[in-house]
Structure 1
Amino acid sequence: MGGDDDRAPRRRHPALGAGRVRELSLYSLVRSLADNKQLLGMRYAEWCIAAPSLEADIAAAAMGLDDIGHSRVLYGSLRELGTPDGVDEGTYANVPYLDKPWTDWAQFVAANAVLDSAFTLMIEALANGNVEVLRSRLKKMLQEERYHYLHGRSWMREAKAASAFERVWRESLEWIGPENADVDQLHREGQLAYGVRELRRLLEERVGSSAPATDIDWAKWDRVRRRMEPGGIDQATLEMLQGLAEKRYMPTGG
C-alpha cells in the first residue's frame, strides 16, 4: 500500500468531515467502493495465519491481495470521474463492519459471503454501465471476485454465524442505499446497470438466502459515507493505512 493509486495516507480522523450534499455523483460511490475494498482486503489479510485450516489461510491471503489490488484500480479511476462532492478527502466512506479487526471466524465468513458479494454486484453494475473508464478497467475484477463468492458460499454451510450474518446483511443494504436516491439516479442515467431493487434481488440470489427483515430509518443515513452509525476506523487501522505502523518499528539509529 501507499502507492499513487491507493489513497491510503489520510491525515484526518475517519469520522470527521462527513458532510451531506443534495445529490451525489458517481465519484462518491466509486470512492466508497474503493475504501471498502481496501479495508476488506486488510481484514481478510489479518486472518491469513489465523483461519481454521491451511486452505482457509491461503484463501484469506489471496482474497486480501485481490481486494487491495481492486481498490487501487478504483482509486486510480477517480481522476477521470470528476471532483469530490464536497466530502472531506480525509474521511473513509466504509461500512461500520470494517471499522475494527474481526475477532471471530464467523465475522470473516459473513463478510465474505454477503458484504463482498454486495461490493461485487456494484462492480458489475459499474462494469456494465456507460462510463468507459469503468467498463474497461473493472471487467477483470469480476473474474477474480467469482472465487470470493464460491469461498464464502462454501463456508456458509459450516460456520455458525447467525448474528454476524444479520449485521452484515443490514450494513450491505445500508451501503447500497435507499430507493430513489443516488444509485437509482445513476441507474437512470445509464452509469449503473442496476438500480437499488435489482441490486437487493441479485444479492439475495448470490448469497442464496433472503435478507432478514430490517427496519432502516433512512432519515439517519449518511449519504456520503453510506452508513447509519457514527464513528470510523480505529486508530490502529488508520496508522496501518498511513504507513505509520511500519515506521514505528523501524530502527531510529543511523
Structure 2
Amino acid sequence: VHNRVQKLLDEERFHFQHATGWTRRLGQVDAVRGEFRDALQRLLPAALRWFGHPDGSDERRLLEEEITSDGPGALRSRFLDTVAPVLESVGLAAELGLTLRDNEWLYEGELDWSGWDGSRRRAGGEGPDAETIARVRGDKNRAFLMD
C-alpha cells in the first residue's frame, strides 16, 4: 500500500507541475488567453464542487471513516492555496473570482449545488462525455486484443 500511495503522490506532483507549465504558457499568449480563461471559468466551479457539499452526508462519512483528512471546505481551501498562486502569476486569479484575503485564497463565486450527487462527486450531467471515456479506456485498441 505504501508504494501505491507514494506513486499516487508522485503522479499528483507531476500533473501539478505539468499544469503549471501549461498555465504559464497559455496565460501569457494573447491569442489563446481569452479561450483559456473561458475554459477555466467553466471548469473551476466543477473542480471546487468535487471536494463536496459543506453539509453533505457522503462527505461527512468520508471524514468520519478517515478517508479524507478534512471536511470539504478545508480541502477546497488547500486546493485553492495550491492552484490560485499559479493563476495569479499570469493575472487570471481575479478574472476567475479568486481573491487573497488574510493569507487565504477564496473563491468569490457561488457554487451551484443543485443536482449534486455526493457519491458520484458530480452534479447532474457533469463529467466526461462518452467519447472521452472511450478514449481514456483505450476502446479503439480493444479490437487488437487477443484472448
Measured against the shorter chain, the TM-score band is 0.5 to 0.7
Matches within 5 A, 1:1-254: 137-159=4-26, 160=33, 161-181=36-56, 182-207=58-83, 208=85, 209=93, 210=98, 212-230=107-125, 233-240=128-135, 244-247=139-142
Asked if structure 1 preserves the Cα contact closer than 8 Å seen for 2:53 and 2:113, the reply is yes
TM-score (norm 2): 0.61
Kept in 1, the 8 Å contact 2:59–2:72? The answer is yes
**TM-score, scaled relative to structure 1:** 0.38
Q: Pick closer, same or farther for the CA change 1:236–1:152 going to 2, 3 Å.
A: closer
Kindly indicate whether the alpha-carbon contact (under 8 Å) linking 2:59 and 2:118 is maintained by their aligned counterparts in 1: no
CA gap 1:175/1:232 in 2 versus in 1, 3 angstroms = closer
Aligned partners of 2:73 and 2:127: how far apart in 1?
A: 28
The CA deviation at 1:243 is 5.2
Greater RCO between the two (CA within 8 Å, min separation 6)? 1
C-alpha distance in 2, partners of 1:199/1:172?
11
Higher strand share: 2
* Unpaired runs of at least 5, structure 2: 27-32, 86-92, 99-105
Q: What is the CA–CA distance in structure 1 between the aligned matches of 2:12 and 2:76, rounded to whole Å?
A: 18
Q: Where in structure 1 are there 5+ consecutive unaligned residues?
A: 1-132
Q: For the aligned residues, what is the CA RMSD?
A: 2.8
* Pair 216,245 (structure 1): closer, same or farther in 2 beyond 3 Å: same
Q: Percent identity?
A: 29
Q: 1:212 to 1:234 in 2, by over 3 A?
A: same
Q: Which residue of 1 aligns with 2:102?
A: none
